[in-house]
């Protein structure tokens, strides 16, 4: 057989290895990054060529032949392949499943006569016209940030944290930095955390630039996603805007990567097998491709703040709101000291009435959807449970349903207690109940609710935002959906109903997330010329977290909290991985983790904690448990995982058991 007739292929399988195949001469030339069709077991699959070689370590008589080459040129260039292989190694996940994450579904399917995607160009199209709408006038800090980012894009180096208060004009900085890149013939990747934000960013970029734009997110159909992916990979689209998985998109001529709202937990894939961080992979992609990366946020993650301290990120600050807008005034409302009506303090209701009568809009934030989180029988104490989870069912009154927000189970809403026959009553407050209350209290002011119960279909969020901007909605009620990046110029009052929800949580990140949420939702107030006001209702107004946040702002809170993290040896001052297991029995999940802990003695500097049940041990009729691995150094942790994880698949376990490794977990309880 002549030279280079063996290919090493990644196949979408949970097996943690690549596979060697023979390449028949009749098929022609193969190169890394091409797709091939090949036999695998009793079926044919699509694989991705990682390497082409004249030699193989597998006996030749055991190798099977590639059936067909599916591409004339590589779909993924060498830097794209390096990023994916690095991700498979760092997150200790099967390389074939990692590569499958990077390709649209239609390109991973076996089709005997499938049309080949467009080949990657050797050079980008001519720059052409990139100007659209007129750029806004920049403030001094904005202009300085744009100069730094333009210089970094020209030199192909640098990682930056753009720390800008809410309303400081971070998006305008992105736009003007991108303009220079596009004018020089380069391309840009912009990541945003949520599908709901993607249409807004697309609209801003489409208004500003005449350059082709590809949008990539989970709201697209398979065919739409494939078209957008091929526009990006072919170089036709020079601006790529997308959510988490867009970080893997091949983009010829990439010159700048932007990660907006970099603190958002949505950048971390927290379900399934491949649990990667798109923010961290964006930084690695920038390093591998010599492309500057800018992380933007009004409430930077503690990991990014620590990287600034270590010199891994350069800090760019936007300390003031753009234009004539001023920061909102924040105040704590002590719920212990005044009358409360259906969750609203008298002082809160008076402030809402004043702002509404003054012609402004009011935003009410409660991160709990549904009518009430509990259905209770006062006679016998029965609380509606989920039959499949260690959780209570949430009341959805308009639909007449009880719903589990963890496994999706639903049942009819009972009128009487199934245990004793007495009446049952909703206990607590969700966004649906708040909507009912405020519609009754302020009948002349239309209410718009923002949560996943009312905004389900694609485009509904965009339509709701349009009603807010048109002024037909005067009171806005919502969950986290309302905190992220929205610009509501007529909102002058923000009310945070349940600030205490995370004050006493066991997760070490709970305080960070609460502070970020409060600052982000507070940033919706007073973004135009009118002064904004933020009222935070609490049963614990003297809590140190709340007091520090109000007195010293997010920067003061973060400095104090980071010092506590350092003392406790929690991330970002330590490295962690979490081995998660689930089974149909608790004994099965805990038994697997106990065996995993015993199979290898960790080296000095690595600690394996005893297995424990997850914070919600039973979910969707499965029992969940976890084992925490800790180390002060990333290299020590990764070295141990390199040896330990491949052996986990050899442990005896019931067929019903599932396990996954979560490197750099966001939730550990």
Inter-axis angle of helices 544-568 and 510-522, to 10 degrees?
140
Examine the fold and report which residue of 539, 565, 591 is the final residue of a domain before the chain moves on.
565
Examine the fold and report which residue of 517, 540, 565 is the final residue of a domain before the chain moves on.
565
Residue with tokens 């396990």: 659
- Whether the pLDDT of residue 122 is over 50: the answer is no
Confidence of residue 4 (pLDDT cuts 50, 70, 90): low
* Residue 133 falls inside a structural domain: no
End-to-end CA distance of the chain: 56
- Whether the pLDDT of residue 563 is over 90: the answer is yes
- Report how far residue 47's alpha carbon sits from residue 625's, in angstroms, rounded to the nearest whole number: 34
* Residue 375 falls inside a structural domain: no
Examine the fold and report which residue of 565, 587, 619 is the final residue of a domain before the chain moves on.
565
Q: What is the mean pLDDT of the chain?
A: 91
- Report how far residue 48's alpha carbon sits from residue 222's, in angstroms, rounded to the nearest whole number: 19
- Whether the pLDDT of residue 119 is over 90: the answer is no
Q: What one-character-per-residue DSSP string does 300-359 give? A: --HHHHHHHHTTSSEEEEE-S-STT--PPEEEEEETTSS-EETTEEHHHHHHHHHHHHTT
Q: Domain count of the chain? A: 4
Taking residues 42-57, what's their average pLDDT? Answer: 94
Taking residues 437-463, what's their average pLDDT? Answer: 89
Check whether residue 522 and residue 612 sit in a common domain.
no
Share of the chain above pLDDT 90, in %: 79
- Whether the pLDDT of residue 127 is over 50: the answer is no
* Residue 385 falls inside a structural domain: no
Confidence of residue 328 (pLDDT cuts 50, 70, 90): confident
Calculate the CA 547 to chain-centre distance.
29
pLDDT at 346: 96
Please tell me the pTM assigned to this model.
0.93
The domain that holds 81 is classified in CATH as 3.40.1440.60
* Residue 216 falls inside a structural domain: yes
pLDDT at 2: 53
* Residue 522 falls inside a structural domain: yes
Check whether residue 33 and residue 58 sit in a common domain.
yes
Check whether residue 536 and residue 487 sit in a common domain.
yes
- Report how far residue 261's alpha carbon sits from residue 190's, in angstroms, rounded to the nearest whole number: 11
Check whether residue 485 and residue 519 sit in a common domain.
yes
Check whether residue 541 and residue 579 sit in a common domain.
no
The domain that holds 253 is classified in CATH as 3.40.50.300
Check whether residue 179 and residue 275 sit in a common domain.
yes
* Residue 176 falls inside a structural domain: yes
Q: What are the tens digits of pLDDT across the range 129-146?
A: 457 667 888 999 999 999
Range of the domain at 546: 329-369+430-565
Check whether residue 460 and residue 580 sit in a common domain.
no
- Whether the pLDDT of residue 318 is over 70: the answer is yes
Listed in sequence order, the residues at least 6 apart from 387 whose beta carbon sits closer than 8 Å to its beta carbon are 409
- Whether the pLDDT of residue 117 is over 80: the answer is no
Taking residues 185-206, what's their average pLDDT? Answer: 87
* Residue 405 falls inside a structural domain: no
* Residue 392 falls inside a structural domain: no
- The torsion angles phi and psi of 535, rounded to 5 degrees, stand at -115, 125
pLDDT at 118: 47
> Among residues 178, 189, 185, 210, which one has the least CA distance to residue 121?
185
Check whether residue 599 and residue 633 sit in a common domain.
yes
> Among residues 285, 294, 291, which one has the least CA distance to residue 81?
285
Check whether residue 452 and residue 351 sit in a common domain.
yes
Taking residues 266-286, what's their average pLDDT? Answer: 94
Taking residues 92-119, what's their average pLDDT? Answer: 81
- Report how far residue 81's alpha carbon sits from residue 590's, in angstroms, rounded to the nearest whole number: 37
Q: What one-character-per-residue DSSP string does 54-116 give? A: S--SS-GGGPPBP-EE--SS-SS-HHHHHHHHHHHHHTT--HHHHHHHHS-GGGSS--TTPPP
Taking residues 504-516, what's their average pLDDT? Answer: 88
Check whether residue 340 and residue 484 sit in a common domain.
yes
Check whether residue 551 and residue 517 sit in a common domain.
yes
Taking residues 214-228, what's their average pLDDT? Answer: 89
Check whether residue 280 and residue 160 sit in a common domain.
yes
């Amino acid at each position: 057989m002549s030279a280079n007739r063996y290919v090493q292929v990644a196949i979408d399988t949970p097996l943690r290895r690549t596979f060697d195949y023979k390449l028949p001469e009749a098929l022609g030339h193969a190169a890394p990054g091409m797709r091939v069709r090949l036999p695998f077991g009793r079926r044919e699959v699509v694989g991705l060529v990682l390497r082409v070689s004249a030699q193989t370590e597998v006996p030749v008589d055991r190798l099977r032949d590639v059936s067909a080459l599916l591409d004339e040129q590589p779909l993924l260039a060498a830097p794209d392949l390096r990023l994916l292989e690095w991700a498979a190694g760092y997150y200790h996940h099967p390389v074939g499943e990692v590569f499958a994450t990077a390709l649209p579904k239609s390109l991973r399917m076996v089709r005997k006569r499938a049309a080949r995607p467009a080949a990657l160009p050797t050079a980008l199209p001519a720059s052409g016209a990139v100007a659209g709408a007129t750029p806004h006038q920049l403030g001094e800090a904005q202009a300085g940030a744009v100069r730094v980012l333009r210089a970094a894009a020209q030199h192909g180096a640098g990682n930056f944290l753009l720390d800008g208060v809410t309303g400081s004009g971070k998006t305008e900085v992105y736009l003007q930095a991108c303009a220079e890149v596009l004018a020089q013939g380069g391309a840009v990747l912009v990541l945003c955390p949520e599908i709901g934000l993607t249409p807004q960013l697309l609209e801003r970029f489409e208004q500003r630039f005449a350059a082709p734009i590809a949008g990539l997110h989970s709201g697209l159909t398979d065919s739409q996603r494939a078209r957008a992916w091929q526009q990006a990979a072919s170089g036709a689209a020079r601006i790529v805007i997308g959510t988490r998985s867009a970080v893997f998109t091949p983009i010829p001529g990439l010159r700048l990567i932007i990660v907006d709202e970099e603190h958002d937990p949505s950048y971390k894939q927290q379900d399934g097998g491949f649990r990667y961080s798109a923010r961290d992979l964006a930084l690695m992609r920038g390093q591998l491709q010599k492309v500057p990366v800018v992380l933007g946020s009004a409430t930077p993650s503690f990991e990014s703040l620590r990287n600034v301290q270590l010199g891994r990120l350069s800090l760019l600050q936007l300390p003031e709101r753009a234009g004539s807008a001023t920061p909102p005034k924040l105040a704590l409302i002590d719920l212990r000291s005044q009358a409360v009506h259906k969750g609203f303090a008298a002082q809160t209701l008076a402030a809402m009435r004043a702002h509404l009568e003054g012609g402004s809009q009011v935003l009410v934030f409660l991160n709990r959807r549904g009518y009430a989180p509990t259905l209770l029988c006062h006679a016998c104490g029965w609380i509606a449970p989920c039959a499949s989870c260690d959780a209570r069912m949430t009341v959805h009154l308009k639909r007449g349903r009880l719903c589990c927000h963890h496994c999706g189970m639903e049942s009819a809403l009972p009128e009487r207690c199934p245990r004793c026959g007495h009446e049952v009553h909703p206990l607590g407050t969700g966004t649906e109940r708040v909507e009912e209350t405020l519609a009754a209290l302020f009948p002349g002011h239309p209410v718009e609710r923002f949560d996943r119960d009312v905004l389900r279909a694609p485009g509904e969020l965009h339509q709701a935002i349009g009603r807010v901007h048109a002024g037909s909605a005067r009171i806005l009620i919502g969950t986290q959906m309302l905190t992220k990046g929205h610009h509501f110029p007529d909102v002058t009052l923000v009310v945070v109903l349940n600030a205490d929800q995370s004050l006493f949580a066991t997760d070490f990140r709970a305080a960070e997330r609460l502070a970020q949420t409060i600052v982000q939702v507070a940033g919706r107030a007073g973004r135009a010329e009118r002064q904004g006001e933020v009222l935070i209702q609490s049963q614990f107004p003297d809590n140190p977290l709340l007091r520090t946040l109000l007195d010293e702002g997010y920067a003061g809170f973060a400095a104090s909290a980071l010092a506590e993290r350092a003392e406790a040896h929690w991330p970002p001052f330590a490295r962690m991985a979490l081995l998660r297991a689930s089974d149909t029995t608790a004994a099965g999940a805990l038994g697997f983790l106990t065996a995993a802990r015993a199979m290898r003695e960790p080296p000095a500097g690595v600690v394996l904690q005893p297995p424990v049940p997850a914070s919600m041990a039973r979910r969707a009729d499965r029992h969940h448990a976890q084992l925490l691995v800790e180390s002060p150094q990333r290299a020590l942790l990764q070295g141990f995982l390199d040896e330990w994880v491949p052996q986990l698949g050899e442990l005896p376990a019931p067929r019903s058991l599932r396990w996954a490794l979560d490197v750099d977990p966001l939730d550990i309880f």
